[in-house]
Structure 1
């Protein structure tokens, strides 16, 4: 099956960095595909990034066609491999998209992922997991990716995965963040309680920060649930904490983080962190290591 992608880019500018965006599994038939995540993808493009979104084989839009395919329904391994395939053909993508040729900086590649997409991104950033069928440790580190953003990503495995859906994701049980050395911003909502996987509470989503080596940054968004204000779609019923203001703040912060990672003399991230904590009701807090 062909890998389909959506590309969003600024109308002007050169030397543009790239964000590979991995969608989640989600409850919607359409948002778990290249058609989802417009609220965050559009804001990233407006901030100067080329955003490339594949439809992974796990997409609900493909579930009937691929129900009996090895790896179904989650296709955890091929999801990460999709991103490497995109980078292999980035020249072709750049030349094919109208008015994009010659405008991408191929040395400035980031990966971002939400929920299951956060697990996908973590593998590309160096985390490892054992293949449930063979027990083999799987290393999908993508060295062309220089930095990552994990949005409401799953945390550690083992005995704490005691929720009713934990058996659906056996590869979560063996996730090892100790090998995830690539610089990463971990974003977690303090109301994101994934009881279908674990009874640990919202702190579970901070594990990629706590259990991975430095340099890592943790952004905790106050009042945010699993959709972080509604990043997966403009009218997504699955959003329990709809807040365009939160999505806009998330886009500003993640954009600033990535710009500073790619250009260390750019002080956008420092300014964004200072703005985050000002005012009567701060939107969140930032921790570093």
Structure 2
């Protein structure tokens, strides 16, 4: 294992809870061109389970991000993972007429998952009646974090800098946003030309969120350094926490998958910290108690060889 060897480094919960999954669960999606495939994961026991709708990064699928999905399900969440149209598993070519609107279709995917919650719940044997539909969070990595952030109140600016449509969803009350890109003013020319949707405004992203950034995440899409990924924390109102991971690049230690090829900074201890703090934050933000969140934050602050720093604002 790379990274800190301190005995205070977070470890996955033990003994692990049994997690059950069903996939693909298909939600009809007229006008999308492809029905929406979703993976459903949940602990085998427990009731009143809160929900996390997880949006994958570019090219991934419902089968990606197992380190997070498996851990968060084991820690008491129902994790719903849609496969967006940019997934490599679908093989949609760049010249497909839907390509310019995939950023918008991604957001519609997340809302379609919420609309289909009863269907998804019924698809996993033994899950029916155990889900708390009033406690719903979103999470995502990279492009998935941008998709998820819109449900929390972030908006996309048009060419004149005017905020576009409010795409927030009142059913979603908290989020975990991993490697969420910053302001569009700082895009390199290629990104500004080809990714016009990467012009966010965080002025109305008021819902509670844990934002996770790597202090070695140097994006080829931005003219700025790793501080670009702290914009969502600095520029948004309301209750927010920022976890800045030391030495972490865009994969944040390997959240996208076990031994995933795109992971350039493999560090299981960093991933374990995200597993732990992400679950603790969401239990806290969704009204499930804040003991674990306070304990985890205190432990990180007291660690003599910390993996990162945690900041808060109200």
Matches within 5 A, 1:1-289: 1-26=34-59, 32-64=60-92, 67-70=95-98, 72=99, 75-130=102-157, 137-158=164-185, 160-162=186-188, 164-173=190-199, 175-194=200-219, 196-263=220-287, 265-289=289-313
Q: Match of 1:29?
A: none
* TM-score, reference length from structure 1: 0.91
Q: Secondary structure at the match of 1:273?
A: helix
2: distance between equivalents of 1:276 and 1:176?
A: 30
Q: Any gaps of 5 or more consecutive residues in structure 2?
A: 1-33
Structure 1 position 50, deviation (Å): 0.7
Deviation at 1:205, TM superposition (A): 0.5
TM-fit CA distance, 1:224: 1.0
Aligned equivalents of 1:47, 1:74: Cα separation in 2: 35
Alignment check: 8 A CA contact 1:58 1:74 kept: no
Q: Deviations over 1:11-43 (max 9, x none)?
A: 1100001100000115xxxxx111110011111
Moved more, 38-47 or 122-131: 122-131
| Partner secondary structure for residue 261 of structure 2 | coil
Kept after mapping to 1: 8 A contact 2:218/2:226: yes
Equivalents in 2 of 1:58, 1:139: separation in Å? 23
Contact 2:42 2:73 in 1 (8 A): yes
Contact 2:176 2:210 in 1 (8 A): yes
Q: How far apart, in 1, do the equivalents of 2:311 and 2:303 lie?
A: 19
Superposition deviation, residue 221 in structure 1: 1.0
Moved more, 161-170 or 240-249: 161-170
How far residue 62 of structure 1 moved from its aligned partner, in angstroms, is: 2.1
SS state of the match for residue 138, structure 1?
coil
RMSD of aligned C-alpha atoms? 1.8
Instruction: Please state whether the residue corresponding to 1:118 is helix, strand or coil.
Output: helix
Quickly say closer, same or farther: Cα 1:278–1:207, change in 2 above 3 A.
Answer: same
Give the direction of change, closer, same or farther, for the CA distance of 1:183–1:51 in structure 2 (3 Å limit): same
TM-score of the superposition, structure 2-length normalised?
A: 0.84
Q: CA deviation at 1:101?
A: 0.5
Cα deviation digits, residues 212-237 of structure 1 (max 9, x gap): 10211111111111111101011212
Partners in 1 of 2:281 and 2:51 — Cα distance?
14
Structure with greater contact order relative to length (CA < 8 Å, sep ≥ 6): 2
| 1:163 CA displacement | 5.5
Deviations 1:144-201 (A, max 9, x none): 001011100111112x11264443211113x11101111111110111111x111211
Q: Secondary structure at the match of 1:51?
A: strand
Contact conserved, 1:163 with 1:198, CA < 8 A, in 2?
A: no
Question: Is the 8 Å Cα contact of residues 67 and 73 (structure 1) preserved in structure 2?
Answer: no
How many residue pairs end up in the alignment? Answer: 279
Taking a change above 3 Å as real, the CA distance of residues 166 and 63 of structure 1, as seen in their structure-2 partners, is farther
CA contact under 8 A between 1:3 and 1:55: conserved in structure 2? yes
